[in-house]
Amino acid sequence: MEKGNYMFQQSSRSIYVFGLVCALVYVVLLYFHFNVSVSVNESANSNPFGFTDREIAEAKAAILRFENPKNDKVFPFSKALKSAENKSDPCGGRYVYIHKLPSRFNEDIVKECGSVNKWLDMCKSEFVMNDGFGQVLNDTEGVLSDHGWYATDHFNLETIFYSRLKRYECLTNDSAIAAASFVPFYAGFDVSRYMFGFNVSVRDAASNEVVEWLQKRDEWKYMNGKDHFLVAGRPTWDFRRPSDDESEWGNKFLLLSAVKNMSMLTIESNPFSANDFAIPYPTYFHPSYDNEVLDWQDRMMKMERKWLFCFAGAPRPGDPTSIRSLVIDQCKNSAVGKLLDCGVGDEKCHSPSSVMKMFQSSVFCLQPKGDSATRRSAFDSILAGCIPVFFHPSSFYVQYTWHLPKNYMKYSVFIPEDDVRKNISIEQRLSQIDSKRIKKMQKEVISLIPRLIYADPHSKLETMEDAFDVTLKAIINKVRKLREDIVDGETNDEFDETLIGSMLYKNKVILRLFVNGILIILKQNQ
């Protein structure tokens, strides 16, 4: 027998068998469809195919899902889906439910934080006043606009976000119609108050308690927490302690099974996590009206920038992988570079006016990694219309994906860390960028400002979205898509973040290969 004929006969036989199976399934479905009202306790004579009671029940449930996929009994969130289809309701599909957590999980944490850990400035009353914005800024350098500037702590995101959400126009007390549910747990303040000198039991206590509280709520049971989200004003790594060794950093909030179902919004995310998302650090600017943003953008476009590049920061002598010392040396040795040395005792680094003045007078702002991959400084530089220069993809490109263009070349410059270690000239590299491209990049950077700032919660920008608006829309879309996938039977509950966590903590070789792959792609696109 020739190979071709044999394969054809095998293929025909497979098609024949497949056809029989399809026909049998079709007959079974027809049988159950026309006998859906038959009692489970019918005699064997009225069940000629000999199916068990359980098989009959499962088949009936499948038919109900097929004929009425939004049946309340099958999908507890069907009311929310119907709300989204109501075109006459301006809040349809936009409702948010806020859990009424006991104050010990939010407001009391802030009050206790300063007394428990006296070294944390973010816990002081002047830093959490004005809805988390802090004190109104004095424009000592004459570089700020008249309204909307505050001494905002870069770890204060959760109080800022919660203050804004409490004034959101589409809040609801009916969780059944909510597009998403918010958990107002101040996770960042909680981990901060026990940062040093406390055992793991103390560090984990509030995390375990809030999860236990949530799991008892009917709202949680709708989707086992997958329609819930939480905002934390610290990097994700503070909540991912890999073991119970007392010497390990932070708590294990994000490693709790229930929490993995929620969407966690942090100022720096774990790119390998399915439900971990980075949203912008708070800056100093919190405008009330559109014209305040537009006037500021116009002013930044017209700035005269006498420095080619600048850097505000301190070295990291205890970190052998840090390139900060090399960056600082290049700034010091360049006639077109400007340095704001943030070593011990330098007050200018703690003056928003001084920082903004330097950024406003520079074309490029260098943003090497610090204590973690991301920096609030990157957002301050964009606010000043200064083009950020990144040295590692994890500093920006794999973060803030809801808020930034996919094409990183439109708004930033990338110089690999290894190039700096090889002593390439940052000045020379930046000098090679022609003036037309610089002008285009500056325009793009300044256009990003509205999406990266948090507006005053007592008002609302009318013609533009701020970081809060972009974030909330993304979360609502994420939950909506998940619900639609559940209806369509396309969910994948087999994702196990512990596999990724194991790779991150135990297999640094694979992680390094992944990062190097990103670096190669970035180099090719330069």
Gap between the Cα atoms of 439 and 447, Å rounded:
12
- 43 or 367, which is more confident? 367
**Looking at residue 51, what is its pLDDT?**
58
Residue with token string 């994890």: 394
**Looking at residue 112, what is its pLDDT?**
78
Distances (CA, A) of 88 to 78, 83, 85, 174, 459: 18, 10, 9, 18, 25
- Name the percent of the chain lying above pLDDT 70: 76
- The secondary structure element, H or E, covering residue 70 is none
Torsion of CA 186, 187, 188, 193, to 10 degrees: 90
Asked whether 267 and 278 are in contact (CB, 8 A), the reply is: yes
Check the CA dihedral 415-154-265-475 and report its sign. Answer: negative
Does the pLDDT at position 322 exceed 80?
A: yes
The two structure tokens encoding residue 415: 């110089």
Task: Tell me the pLDDT band of 489, cut-offs 50, 70 and 90.
Answer: confident
**Looking at residue 43, what is its pLDDT?**
39
Mean pLDDT over 72-82 rounds to 78
Mean pLDDT over 490-502 rounds to 51
Q: What is the pTM of this model?
A: 0.80
Give the lowest-confidence range in 46-50, 478-482, 510-514: 510-514
**Looking at residue 348, what is its pLDDT?**
77
Give the lowest-confidence range in 183-187, 195-199, 394-398: 195-199
Give the lowest-confidence range in 16-25, 128-137, 215-224: 16-25
Does the pLDDT at position 178 exceed 70?
A: yes
**Looking at residue 195, what is its pLDDT?**
87
The domains of the chain, with CATH numbers, are: 78-282+468-488 (no CATH), 290-452 (3.40.50.2000)
Gap between the Cα atoms of 241 and 255, Å rounded:
8
**Looking at residue 54, what is its pLDDT?**
59
- Name the percent of the chain lying above pLDDT 90: 66
Contacts of 95 by beta carbon, 8 Å cutoff, 6+ apart: 80, 83, 170, 171, 172, 174, 177, 178, 179
Does the pLDDT at position 259 exceed 50?
A: yes
**Looking at residue 39, what is its pLDDT?**
40
Give the lowest-confidence range in 252-261, 266-275, 344-353, 368-377: 344-353
Asked whether 51 and 31 are in contact (CB, 8 A), the reply is: no
| 339-369 per-position pLDDT tens digit | 998 876 667 788 899 999 999 999 999 999 9
| 133-164 per-position pLDDT tens digit | 999 998 888 899 999 999 999 999 999 999 99
Asked whether 232 and 266 are in contact (CB, 8 A), the reply is: yes
Mean pLDDT over 277-285 rounds to 97
